[in-house]
Amino acid sequence: LYSMFHNAQQAYDAEVDYEESLKRHNRDITRLSKRHIYLLHRCGSQIPALPKGLLEHWKELGSLLESKDQTRYRRCFTGGLEEFLEAQFLQYFLEHNAILPWSNFESIPVTVTPYDYLMGLADCTGEVTKYALGNQEKFDQALAYLRALSPFFASVNLSTNKNWANKRTTFRLSLRKLERASAMLEMQRIEYPNLDPVLDPSDLMADPAISAET
């Protein structure tokens, strides 16, 4: 009887240790991806490449997952994967003014499912909105970006997923924020036709739709 429990303990402990090692990488990937996103917000015209450390974590995660069933351990790395994709979407938008195509992201050792792709895309729209409200040069492109995605968000039926409803609501809020800001700019153009319209941060924050927390 005791030997059975002893064996069970060893197997159980090994599982816990293994999952922890995956989660450690996941936390680092999340942290570094978020950091890269903040950097992208600040960087201006000189757009930095993805940090090497980030890709190395993916490599190590990949070697840990070798010969294992990825589906089984998916929940250990799915958070970091979403953040990573979000960073890539934002980067691609800043570099190319376009939506990162399905086949174009940085190759990583885990299988990227359409689900991850869509979650990352949804999160990225929030970042694009934030960027546009701070950097006016990209404003029109950001608005076009969100408008291009709008029909998909409206049409896709992921009702089985609780997260998706939140992402969709957030997306709608982001789109509304940009459209409100766009209206503000248009008002300025009408009232002061000789001046270039400027998004004043205090005006933006005064608008309840734009300053609303998502």
Partner 1 sequence: MEEMDEISVQKAFTEYGNYLAKESEIRDEIRVTVKDLEQAGREINTVLQRIHRPGGIKHLEKIGQTAESKFSKIRDLYKELDQKVPAGTYWKYSQIWTNSNSWISFLASLTIYIKSEQLPDKDEVSRLVGMDAQLQSIHLDIEEYLLGLCHLCNELSRVAVNSVTSEDYNRPVRIADFLNSLHTGFRFLNLKNDNLRKRFDSIKYDLKKVEEVVYDLSIRGLNKPVEIQEKPDAPQDAEALEK
Interface contacts to partner 1, rule CB under 8 A: 1-6, 8-9, 11-13, 16, 69, 71-72, 97-103, 113-115, 117-118, 121, 144-145, 148-149, 152, 155-158, 160
Of 32 and 73, nearer to partner 1 (C-beta) is 73
* Residue type at position 182: S
- Least distance to partner 1, CB of residue 18, Å: 13
- Least distance to partner 1, CB of residue 210, Å: 23
Of 1 and 195, nearer to partner 1 (C-beta) is 1
CB 177, CB 209: distance < 8 Å? yes
Task: Quote the CA–CA distance of 145 and 98 in Å, as a whole number.
Answer: 7
Of 61 and 118, nearer to partner 1 (C-beta) is 118
- Least distance to partner 1, CB of residue 169, Å: 18
Task: Quote the CA–CA distance of 176 and 192 in Å, as a whole number.
Answer: 24
- Least distance to partner 1, CB of residue 193, Å: 28
Of 6 and 27, nearer to partner 1 (C-beta) is 6
- Least distance to partner 1, CB of residue 211, Å: 27
From the number of C-beta atoms within 10 Å of its C-beta (0-12, 13-18, 19+), residue 154 rates as: exposed
Of 19 and 207, nearer to partner 1 (C-beta) is 19
